[in-house]
Structure 1
Amino acid sequence: MNPSNRSWNADLYQQKHAFVFHFGVDVLKLLDPQPGERILDLGCGTGELTARIAERGAEVIGLDASLSMIAKARESFPHLSFQQGDARDFGTDQPFDALFSNATLHWINETEQPSVLAAVFNALKPGGRFVAELGGRGNVARILNALANALTELGKKQPVNLNFFPSVGEYTTTLETAGFSITLAQFFDRDTPLTDPETGLSDWITMFRGDLLTALSDQDRQTVLATVNNQLRPTNFRDGHWFADYKRLRFVAVKPLES
């Protein structure tokens, strides 16, 4: 689901962040996998969407940089093919009819996006499609700002934003520069309910920005989480649930028949 220089807790992802792949089902409708097609799930995570693609009769391979994610995917779906690999430099001996990616591209920094898109372009057959969703401009801004404020209050350095959350214009330009033709580009707000009514926000931070917490003492970690929860309760907690302020960018891009 992201470059290999970050470690992931696959069990926490599967147990408390299943919304990531549940919402990805809508992106699968855009992919519309057909029987016999050869498809790559780029950043497959624990493999749930890879399995959905296979159910449609396609020949699918799941690719992820995280060993823990690949291990969990193989455990959950032993009949499917999963490989460890980096989105920035993967290759294939046999081109794909389509590439699919859900909630992965925003983990790759802006300067490396052209490398990813070049790898995708080269892996597709002429006429092949690239269907993906990633975080868009302003994604989880309230959470990240509150986290930065809480760390500042403790005298810690401002965190580096690991994500690339582009606008539609930015990313479609990058896709076109890579040689793709864009057939669909959408940007929309999607406040997303987090699984646990009490610890949902803290679980999200532990899963997706846990790198900032591991360097803290237990006491400072609890202080940061409590501060973020208190700051965001008026905006991100309602009807008994925590919500993440997601903004999503979804697109379909096609490799031209002549390229």
Structure 2
Amino acid sequence: MKATSHDTHWNASLYDDKHNFVFKYGEDVVQLLAPQIGERILDVGCGTGYLTNLIAKAGARVIGIDKSKSMVDRAQAVYPDLDFRVMSATDFGFDTPFDAVFSNATLHWVLDKEAAVDCIAQALRPGGRLVLEMGGKGNVEEIVVATRKVLTRHGYYSNAATQLWYFPSLSEYTTLLEKKGFRVRFAAHFDRPTELKDTENGIKDFIKMFGNAFFTDIPDTEIETILTEIQDAVRSTNYRNGSWYGNYKRLRIAAVKN
């Protein structure tokens, strides 16, 4: 899920096939949420619905929202009994408040972070909780730096300047939440090196899946050359023991609406 001026085009089947680590790691975040029977819970950035379904299995009444229609279509096909809707993280509203808002691997896509937190706060009842995980400061930094350098070298200066992600520090995001009326109960900023599935083209696949907006209006004939140069540039930092890794740094936060 994302809300940016440079929209990523989501390939839902590729996401489920080669990048399911995104929601598999999110199972721990569901444990932190600890959904209860009968609770109303909103999953912001539900993707293909895997974690939404886990929350529902705990007995909660859950709604999943995502800005990507292809993701929501996939979720509805796989989990037809659940409620999924195409909505942006910066522009959603419901008549009945929720007991909890959950979000995994979504809010770093939302450059208008204040609007997103406003929407989340309005969706929660007083005393309702927010549990989230997102990319934190330094997340996939080597890949981002290499991408910008290679695009610049090829003369694609505006592409190199594309701002796709918002990776805040722990203090930056907890301060934002406190300013918006939350009490932060738990916050961690931690390293999570993440193995990428394709041992030969792990970085290329990662960029095709998550960073395709960097390549807007670049001819297809040049993209593979650029991707190869980016992957070669991060080999020393992101390839070990025969596998490619994304050097992930994550923020995990639990907060309560005052």
Structure-2-length-normalised TM-score: 0.95
Aligned equivalents of 2:130, 2:92: Cα separation in 1: 15
Are the aligned partners of 1:131 and 1:253 in contact in 2 as well (CA < 8 Å)?
yes
**After TM superposition, where is structure 1 displaced by more than 4 Å over at least 4 residues in a row?**
none
**Structure 1: which 5+ residue stretches go unaligned?**
none
Alpha-carbon distance, 1:218 to partner = 2.9
State the secondary structure of the residue aligned to 1:133: strand
Are the aligned partners of 1:4 and 1:86 in contact in 2 as well (CA < 8 Å)?
no
Aligned equivalents of 2:79, 2:245: Cα separation in 1: 30
What letter corresponds to residue 83 of structure 2 in structure 1? S
Are the aligned partners of 1:3 and 1:66 in contact in 2 as well (CA < 8 Å)?
no
Are the aligned partners of 1:4 and 1:66 in contact in 2 as well (CA < 8 Å)?
no
Q: How many residues align?
A: 254
- The RMSD of aligned alpha carbons is 1.2
1:126 aligns with 2:126: yes
Alpha-carbon distance, 1:214 to partner = 4.3
Structure 2 counterparts to residues 12-161 of structure 1, below 5 A: 12-109=14-111, 112-157=112-157, 158-161=160-163
Aligned equivalents of 1:159, 1:21: Cα separation in 2: 29
Cα distance per residue 1:177-214 (max 9 Å; x no partner): 00000000100011110111112111100011112234
Aligned equivalents of 2:215, 2:4: Cα separation in 1: 19
What letter corresponds to residue 97 of structure 1 in structure 2? D
Are the aligned partners of 2:202 and 2:244 in contact in 1 as well (CA < 8 Å)?
yes
Structure-1-length-normalised TM-score: 0.95
State the secondary structure of the residue aligned to 1:249: strand
Identity across matched positions, percent: 49
Cα distance per residue 1:117-159 (max 9 Å; x no partner): 1111111111110000111111111000111111122121123
**Structure 2: which 5+ residue stretches go unaligned?**
none
Are the aligned partners of 1:132 and 1:252 in contact in 2 as well (CA < 8 Å)?
yes
Cα distance per residue 1:1-57 (max 9 Å; x no partner): 112762311111111110000011111111000111110000000000000101111
